[in-house]
Each structure stands twice: as C-alpha cells, then as structure tokens.
Amino acid sequence: MATYRKLPSGKWQVQIRSKNTAPLSKTFSSKLEAEKWARLTESQIDMGAFVDRSELDTTTFGDLIDRYLIEVTPLKKSKDVENRRLKALKQQMGFMRLSAIQNKDIAAYRDRRLNVDECSGSTVIKDINSISHIFNVAIKDWGYPIANNPAQMISKPKANKGRDRRLETGELDLLIDGLELTWGIQSIVLLALETGMRRSEILSLKWVNIFIEDRYLILPDTKNGDSRAVPLSLKAIEIINALEKSYEHLFIIKPDAITRAFKRACVRVGLDDLRFHDIRHEATSRFFELGLNTMEVSAITGHKTLTMLKRYTHLKAKDLALKLG
C-alpha cells in the first residue's frame, strides 16, 4: 500500500510497503508523479516482475570504477595502463549516478574526447571498451540491476590506420647516437630490433631463461598469455653477452623510463615521428625481407593471426619489386 507526504521542500515522498518486498521510498517533484510511480511499482510487485533499482540512485559510475580497479584491473597484464585510463575516466564521468547514465552520455564523452581533447579514434575506442566492460562486470558479476549496457548502444569512431613507419638509411645510427648517454636503453633498442620483442617482454627477461649455446630465449608469459621461444641472431647474442649479470633480470629499468629516454633521444637527433613500438614494426618487416614465411615470423614475434601481422608488417615496395625481377 502506498502512502504520500509532502516534504518541507515542496516535493512529495511516496512509501510502499508490501509483504513481498522490502519497504520502498522515492521522492518526486509533484504528487501526480509520485502516484504514477506508485501505481506502476505496485502493479509490478503484484505480477512478481518488480526489480528494486534504488541502489542505482545511490551508486555512481565512479563507485564502479573504484571497485573495478580493486577487483579486476590487478589481474590484467596491462594493469598500469588501465589504471591511468580509468582514473582519468573517473574525473570526467565518475560523478554520474547509475540510474541516470544513458547512451547519449557515453556518446557525449566520445565526442568530447575526439573533438575537445583531440584524442585518436583508437584511444577513444579503448575508453569506450573499458566503460562497456565495467558495465558488463557490474551487471553479470556484481548483480547491479542495470537494464542495458549504455556503452554498447553507441557508434564507435574509426580506428587509426596502422603505422607504416620504417627506419630509413642512417636513422638507426642517429638513434643509437642519441641514446649514447642513456644506460641500457641502447641495448634494449638493439635487442628489440634483432628479436621483434615488445618492450614489456624485454623487461621481463631473466638470465635463467637465456640459452646462449642453443641460441634462443624463453618468454614464459607474454601479452597474449602464451609462452614463446625466441631465436637469437648472432647480433642478439653479442648484445646479451655484453650485459652485466648483477641481477635476476637482464634490465632493471621501468617501462616509462624507456619511453621517456627514447623520446628525448629522438628529439635530440631529429626523429620526432619515431616511436619505440616502431622498432617492432621494423624487426617484423626485416624478418619477412630475409625470406621467412608467415608461420616462422609469427613464431618469433608472437602474432596470432595474419591480420595482426599485416597490421605490423609494411614491406617496402621497392624491395618487393626486386624479388619480382
């Protein structure tokens, strides 16, 4: 049965008591709205179709982000990157109540990131995917009575076209000269070029997993969750043998420190458009140019599909023309 009372603020509060549910209460601007809600709610209770969504009024999207950062993010390999992304997301959308968030709010966030923050389409897609997964976890695992995932109701921007940056003649020498005063980064860059390994994979290397005599190393845990054996060229062996064996890992450097040192070196020598991940592009392309087939390159780099290899591999047309005769 519903009871109504007018509050000092002029708003109307309605309370419903039923043996089939816990007491319910909600406040409206007018008595007409309160009566309309009460009739609908009592009808749903009578039919056994009522779902208590009051928790959505008191929970913000920021609350979901906080819980996600504690329970879900630490289990991911990219936890540090996601931690930064979600904290930035909380600053922009964390205040919104779950009962109020609609697909138009996610769309507005998308447009703001694209047009005001001038983020790339690929970056915004990652943001939207993060929002969507948070809602999915909240619905499926945490039991929040959210009817629909609003992030799945909007259009995503186009992803960026794959980079095709290759090292031109003399650029590697310039880069190495620029890194001359940075301990360890030179070796990391050269090892990446010889093996096609990711930055995270190089930093995970332990001496116990290096087999110089047999010319390979083992990556027990890679980005895609599988272990991988990486063959070592003579140049790669030379690089590894020159390192000191003072620690368990080959390199004791933080990922962000590598990125910053790489950027500074590129600026110093005039390679402003070069990124560390471009070295993996270059290595992968060189493997193909050496005559290795797709399966052999995939075994070295860890790419799972031909599509992924095409994303990273950009062979020079002039070199392919020479093979055609």
280 is catalytic: yes
Residue 312 a catalytic site member? yes
Catalytic option among 90, 228, 280, 281: 280
Name residue 139's amino acid. Answer: I
Within a domain: residue 88? yes
Catalytic residue among 312, 314, 318, 323: 312
Q: What is the pLDDT of residue 68?
A: 96
Q: Which of 198, 199, 281, 286 is catalytic?
A: 198
Q: Are residues 216 and 261 in the same domain?
A: yes
pLDDT category of residue 49 using cuts at 50, 70 and 90: low
187 and 314 share a domain?
Answer: yes
Residue 325 has pLDDT above 70, yes or no: no
219 in Cβ contact with 191 (< 8 Å) = no
Q: Is the pLDDT of residue 312 over 60?
A: no
Rounded to the nearest integer, the mean pLDDT of the chain is 87
Looking at the structure, tell me whether residues 44 and 106 fall in a common domain: no
Flag whether 159 is in a domain: no
Overall average pLDDT of the 74-96 stretch: 90
Catalytic residue among 97, 277, 311, 314, which?
277
DSSP β-bridge partners for residue 229: 218
Please confirm, yes or no, whether 198 is among the known catalytic residues.
yes
Assigned domain for 243 exists: yes
Output the pLDDT for position 196. 93
pLDDT of residue 81: 84
In a domain, 163, yes or no: no
- pLDDT given for residue 313 in this prediction: 54
**Domain contains 160:** no
- Type of residue at 61: F
Residue 45 pLDDT: 77
Residue 265 lies in a domain: yes
In terms of pLDDT, which residue wins out, 72 or 78?
Answer: 72
According to DSSP, residue 207 is labeled: G
Residue 75 belongs to a domain with what CATH number? 1.10.150.130
Q: 167: buried, middle or exposed (CB in 10 Å: 19+, 13-18, 0-12)?
A: buried
223 classed as catalytic: yes
Domain boundary among 33, 52, 71: 52
CB 32 within 8 A of CB 2: no
165 within domain boundaries: no
Cα 275 to Cα 36, 272, 316: the distances in Å are 60, 8, 19
Segment 100-117 mean pLDDT: 92
Q: What was the pLDDT predicted at 316?
A: 60
CA distance 83 to 78: 9
The percent of residues above 90 in pLDDT, for the chain, comes to: 45
Flag whether 162 is in a domain: no
Whether 110 shows a pLDDT value over 90: the answer reads yes
- Confidence band, pLDDT 50/70/90 cuts, at residue 136: very high
- Count of structural domains within the chain: 3
Residues in the chain: 325
Q: Is the pLDDT of residue 85 over 80?
A: yes
User: Are residues 185 and 301 located together in one domain of the fold?
Assistant: yes
Please say which residue of 18, 34, 52 terminates a domain.
52
Whether residue 307 sits in one domain with residue 200:
yes
* pLDDT score for 197: 94
Query: Whole-prediction pTM value?
Result: 0.64
Residue that wins the pLDDT comparison between 19 and 217: 217
Q: Which CATH number goes with the domain that contains 196?
A: 1.10.443.10
142, 120: one domain: yes
290 and 205 in a single domain? The answer is yes
Range of the domain at 31: 2-52
**One domain, residues 212 and 83:** no
Task: Return left, alpha or beta for 114; rule: phi > 0 is left, psi -120 to 50 is alpha, else beta.
Answer: alpha
pLDDT at 60: 94
Instruction: Report whether pLDDT(26) > 90.
Output: no
The HSE-up count of residue 40 (CA atoms within 13 Å, CB side) is: 9
CA 145, 60, 47 angle in degrees (round to 5)?
A: 20
Separation CA 162–CA 131 (nearest Å)? 24
Of the residues 223, 235, 245, 316, only one is catalytic, namely 223
Per-residue model confidence as pLDDT tens digits over 223-270: 766 789 999 999 999 999 999 888 999 999 888 889 899 999 999 899
Whether residue 133 contacts residue 141, with contact meaning beta carbons closer than 8 Å, is answered with: no
Mean pLDDT, residues 106-124: 90
32 burial via Cβ count (<10 Å: 0-12, 13-18, 19+): exposed
Least confident of 16-20, 177-181, 279-283: 16-20
